[in-house]
Amino acid sequence: MMPFCRKLLLVTLMAVFCGSYQSRAQLSDSFEDGDFTQNPAWTGTDVFFKVNNSKQLQLNGSGEGTAFLSTSSTLLKPAEWRFWVKLSFSPSSNNFSRVYLISDQSDLSGSLNGYYLQLGEAGSNDALELFRQNGNQSVSICRGIDGLIATSFTLRIKVVHKMDGTWEIWADPTGGANFQLQASGNDSQINTGQYFGIFCKYTTSNATKMYFDDFYAGEIQVDITPPELLSLTVPSDTSLELQFSEALAPTPAGLPTNYRVQPGNQQPFQVQLSTAIPGLVSLAFHSPFQPDIDYILSVDSVKDLAGNRSGPFMRSFSIYQPQPYDIVINELMVDPDPPVGLPNWEYVELYNTTRKSFSLKGWKLVTGNTIKSIPDCEIAAEGFLILCRPEAIPELSSYGTCVGISSLSLTNTGQDIKLLDNTNQVISRVIYTDKWYRDPAKSNGGWSLEQIDPSAVCLGAANWKASENISGGTPGGPNSVLSSLTLLPLPEALIVIDNQTLKLIFNQNMDSLSLVNYQLYEVSPAIGLADSAWLSGDDFSAVMLHFPITFENGVSYRLILLPGLQNCKGEAVPENTFLDFTLAPPVQPFDVLITEIMADPEPVVGLPNFEYIEIYNTTASTIDLSGWTLLIGTSSKVFQNAYLGANSYLIIGSEGAASDFAPYGNFYGFSSFQLTNTGQSIALVNPMGEVIAWVDYTDKWYGSSPKKNGGWSLEMRDYENFCTLDGNWAPSVDASGGTPGRDNSVKTNNPDLTSPSLLRAFPVDNTHLSVYFSEPMAEETITNPARWSLPEGPGEVVRISPTDYRNIVFVFELSASMDPGRSYLLQAKGEITDCAGNSLTGGEIVFGLPSPVSSGDLIINEILTNPRTGGADYLEVMNNSSNLLDLASVSLIYKSLTDTSRTKIIFLPSWMLVPGQYYCLTRNPGAVAAQYEVPYPANLVEISDLPDFASDPGGRIVLSLRENESSEIDRLEYTPSMHLPVLKDLDGVALERINPHRPSTDPTNWTSAAESAGFGTPTGKNSQFAETPLPSGRLTVSPSIFSPDGDGVDDNTVIVLNAPGDGWLVNVSVYDAMGRLVRKLARALSAGIETVLSWDGCRDDRSLAPVGRYLIVSEFYNTAGKREVVKSSVVLAVKF
């Protein structure tokens, strides 16, 4: 027998009955066409009515007032009227309705002659009452049971008018078709009429709360259908309940002799016919029924109220009290919006795992702290039952048998749901969360959570996932994810909390009583039984155990599980189950490592298309991760009920990836999980706030490999070299693209043998200094002030602390204030090491308060615009002053010479610039260091938004004050023609300033970096640097023999001009031995003392002049007409 609910049954029967009535009716309207203006036509104040979505006629007024509708009907007697009515409020003298059975007027709001049924009155004894109306006067004919409609109600009503003038009022309070007589009377004064209709009086709050449906007026229907026995339930071992299809006559249904039970030949001592539920018969017996005996109940016969007799009936039954998980919570629709394919209603589906049907009379559903009674109904053997709100039944009943629970509400994010029997025994329990979907997209709504294996209820979250049915769920039928999950109850992890406490985690939910029975846990050697045990968490899968004797360091112990432990279904833990452990020290930094990062899984190479990180436990003890925090950039995620096995991996990602990563190893999913492709910081923090593991990954670790484009993870190479970032990570070489859950494919011995260095120091204020190291340092060696000295002041170091867990930047507190404009020296005088134990080299650094920057203090000294493959643009600047400067006081403006849209302004970071030192600004310091010799790596300054300098046709770079862009510090306008023409390939060739004291705007002050220097000298002195020769007369040329071959030796000849006086101009030209003009170096150049130019051996067309002797001619002149020409020869040579 399938599960049923009486209310549903009665509605179904009514639908059948109405179908037969309508075929012979004078009036019939169920509003299925959605229109009350035709078939039949209703008229009146029609603007105040509508047909709603449930195909019911609904009052649709506003404010307070009256409204009516009527339709043609002349039927009076013999006749029968039936209709369904709902008033969603407590009726009163100002809020009521009337159903006019007959009227001589279509306007039901005025004077008329007819009969009406009144629904609502003053006071609290509202009853169904029939009135005759003559003109404006009304006379009661008969009145039903007081209080029947005193509060909001839903009724199906039948009124019968017989030929002798007798009126009968019948009603079914459930809205079904099991009518009960309410009243009868006699009146025949009115014999004609033309209309049937409804009249409503209402106030503002109830202007839309009256509903009508299933109107019928026609012949009196004679019931010729005998009653049927629908179900037999066993409420207790001394009682039975029979549900018949309709109300029964007291004889013979109320006679004990009408019933007999075999074996035992028992007859009930009491028979009770329910007045509240038509057709319900309760039988009480003296002798209890015995378990596991098949009984047969015989019913001789019964009659309905119309005298239709049926019987005999025979039904079998047995006594069986449902055990836990005989009926299981099998499916949950907690967030139906937006709908995928199912009605937009929440529901809980129950499944009967047994071959016995059960009555749910007195059962309850507990959601969180809310207890809801389940209406009296039955769930069939191996059947389903849908629990939902009553208003959801019309839409969900097509999927299976539904039972209405008022105000049923489920929490989207998670809740504790329990099913209790009539003795309050927990039959089924589910503590779900939105992580159970295992699919972030489905967790947004419209998809149900389905149980995978109804027999594996103890597995908890592992036994649930989002529905795979295209409609979003499978209410009333087998789950779409149905599969077999067989798993013995076994311990999954043992965590040592302290020297007397253990945390034991099982692979499924356990029986709570056996789980906390401390006498079932024994530790050997020499410890014995636990002295207390308590639950850890609320899902009965973990227990805390305390022992009376402390564990000792270095001793191997064994936890033995004694017989008696069982899971939530009573299945026993296998005998001789044990776990070994030792007392481990508290988790230290880098006991857990972040060993693999998949930030960009697309295009897929061979792994699931999900981002993940992998962590590894380097210790021999299981680590409890519950309460730990995973920091990814600025987001934080807290682990719940998670652990990391000894010497084991854990894959971490989105909870929707759990099933995809199941074949790869242990997995933990967060509801949201996202990594940045280009890089970010990741840290693992314990509940005390200590950072245990961290990594600042970057896609630069892929190098020039195409694996950077996606599908390949980054893997740590040497697990013992955890402090090293660059050089200890590499793209996976595994064919699948990564190695989640197992040893890394690039794992190798890669020790840190590099000594750390001091990079820079920058003042926080006048008594605090931020000191930067080249790599993570051993904190305890840094933070001892006695290991540092200030030979030139100010005062001494009094306190040192790291700025964060990376131990790369430390703040030094000084005992005295720094003086503006003065430089100081910080020196290491004790053993300072990195976290791998390598000693600090070059343990001193200059610091002080930076001075304001003036024009010419900071100059552009070198630029690379066309890097080699895998390289990076860079711009080198030099502190050309005698003061400490702050790079942050300067902004950089870049403009393309041809594309005006390519203009970029960037503000540079704080960086202390020491007088005379060179600083290389680049997007990728590692790429620069890989392709050039970098004498001062500490002076590589990473500028992530540094412009991409156009190599052709060139660009303009301006350094200006940050606060005032019009205040230029230095300027360079470069073009490819400034390179030596002897170079055919300019890839990777930097332009160098020949002399920092000559103007950067002088094109002859720039040339290609020497090949001997690798075509670039970032952070070092330029390979083409040339001192300005001491002037001797008006014109000095040095060297007199030069070879512009790019080798860095005499590639240019320097020309020094000394004007005769102030206000003189000069033209400088180069002629060959035949007197032909080769190069015009200067035109109308303002000449002063030591005006300097260079010739790189090029003609005006930038082709290289041939080997030979050339004449440098300088023509001085002024506005007074004076003129002076000075000549000097030079030889352009070539090396062999």
| HEC letters along 33-50 | CCCCCCCCCCEECHHHEE
SS3 21: helix
Architecture of domain 4-218: Sandwich (2.60)
Cα separation values, 782 from 86, 146, 186, 758, 787, Å? 82, 91, 108, 12, 8
CB 467 within 8 A of CB 479: yes
Nearest-Å Rg of the Cα atoms of the chain is 47
Beta-strand pair 667-670/649-654:
parallel
Distance CA(531)–CA(513), nearest Å, equals 15
Distance CA(110)–CA(70), nearest Å, equals 13
Query: What CATH number labels 1035-1132?
Result: 2.60.40.4070
DSSP letter assigned to residue 1106: P
Element (H, E) at 630: strand 629-632
User: pLDDT value at position 1123?
Assistant: 92
Consecutive sets of 10 residues in the chain, 1136 residues long: mean pLDDT of each?
33 34 64 92 95 94 94 91 95 96 95 96 93 96 94 94 94 82 93 95 95 93 89 89 91 95 96 89 95 92 90 90 94 97 97 91 94 93 96 94 95 94 94 87 94 94 94 97 92 92 94 96 96 90 96 93 95 95 91 97 96 96 93 94 92 89 92 94 95 95 93 97 91 97 96 93 96 94 95 95 95 96 93 94 93 95 94 96 95 86 86 95 93 94 90 89 90 91 89 92 90 92 88 90 89 92 91 94 86 92 92 92 93 87
CB 232 within 8 A of CB 165: no
CA 972 to chain centre: 50
CB 797 within 8 A of CB 810: no
Query: What CATH number labels 758-847?
Result: 2.60.40.1220
User: pLDDT value at position 1135?
Assistant: 80
Residues in contact with 887: Cβ distance below 8 Å, sequence separation at least 6, in sequence order? 877, 908, 909, 910, 911, 912, 913, 919, 941
10: number of Cβ within 10 Å = 22
Listed by start position, the domains of the chain span 4-218, 233-317, 327-466, 491-582, 592-731, 758-847, 858-1013, 1035-1132
Which class is domain 858-1013? mainly beta
Query: What are the φ/ψ torsions at residue 939 (nearest 5 degrees)?
Result: -100, 10
Is the fold of 4-218 the same as that of 858-1013? no
**Alpha helices (runs of H) in 675-758, residue ranges in sequence order:** none
3-state helix, strand, coil in the chain (%, to 5): 10, 40, 50
Distance CA(924)–CA(943), nearest Å, equals 8
Q: Cα 281–284–285 angle (5° rounding)?
A: 140
Which class is domain 233-317? mainly beta
Residues in contact with 355: Cβ distance below 8 Å, sequence separation at least 6, in sequence order? 381, 382
DSSP 399-427: TS-EEE-TT----SSEEEEEEE-TT--EE
SS3 443: helix
Compute, in degrees rounded to 10, the torsion defined by CA atoms 100, 106, 111, 116.
0
User: pLDDT value at position 984?
Assistant: 84
Residue located via tokens 């749910």: 360
Distance CA(1052)–CA(1130), nearest Å, equals 11
Distance CA(138)–CA(381), nearest Å, equals 56
Q: For residue 472, which of 380, 337, 586, 563 has the smallest C-alpha distance?
A: 337
Query: What CATH number labels 327-466?
Result: 2.60.40.1260
Q: For residue 241, which of 259, 218, 226, 221 has the smallest C-alpha distance?
A: 259
Query: What CATH number labels 592-731?
Result: 2.60.40.1260
Architecture of domain 491-582: Sandwich (2.60)
User: pLDDT value at position 173?
Assistant: 84
User: pLDDT value at position 1029?
Assistant: 85
Q: Which amino acid is at 1000?
A: S
User: pLDDT value at position 875?
Assistant: 97
CB 774 within 8 A of CB 759: yes
DSSP 867-935: PPTT---EEEEEE-SSS-EEGGGEEEEEEESS-TT-EEEEEPPP-EE-TT-EEEEES-HHHHHHHS--S
In this prediction the pTM is: 0.61
